[in-house]
Amino acid sequence: MVPAPADDPALATRPGDQLRLSGAAAERRARWHLWRRGWHIVACNWIGGGGEIDIVASRWRTLLVVEVRRRADAQPLASIDRAKLDRILAASRALIIAHDLQRYRLRIDLIGFDGDGRLLRRRDIMRQGQPGY
């Protein structure tokens, strides 16, 4: 697969472009991972309620909100703190209200990619408690 010109790291010239491109690539991989598992991707980078949702997906009667992280170290999911989780929850509530999605069960997952590109996933974090170690 040939990357689109905007995704070509060789074209990243401004400070932060390389980081932004690697984050976009991580989100594409996460969407592919979810799609292969039967999730229907309904929105990407949805902004509202004071936060941003990287991926919104649905399957059956579950609305899945996903935060995606890519870090060079071995624990990309540990970078999600309580403040980030609060912003994700606020954005999720705004999404549900804006699109009348109260009939869905809300589930929040975290997907991270470590420096070796391995996918790490923590499912349904609201049932497991606060993310991170």
Please give the DSSP secondary-structure letter assigned to residue 115. Answer: T
> Which tokens go with 125?
């974090």
Q: What is the pLDDT of residues 32-88, one digit of tens each?
A: 999 999 999 999 999 999 999 999 999 999 999 999 988 877 688 777 888 988 999
- The full set of domain ranges for the chain reads 17-128
Residue type, 44: C
User: What pTM did the predictor assign?
Assistant: 0.78
Nearest to 54 by CA among 97, 23, 81: 23
Regarding predicted confidence, which is higher, 18 or 93? 93
Phi and psi (nearest 5°) for 122? -115, 120
Residue type, 27: E
pLDDT exceeds 50 at position 126: yes
Topology, domain 17-128: Trna Endonuclease; Chain: A, domain 1 (3.40.1350)
Cα 59 from Cα 98, distance rounded (Å): 19
Mean pLDDT of 24-35: 94
Regarding predicted confidence, which is higher, 128 or 14? 128
Q: Are 118 and 112 contacting, i.e. CB atoms less than 8 angstroms apart?
A: no
Q: Give the lowest-confidence range in 7-11, 23-27, 71-75, 125-129.
A: 7-11
Query: What's the confidence (pLDDT) of residue 129?
Result: 57
> Which tokens go with 124?
């349904």
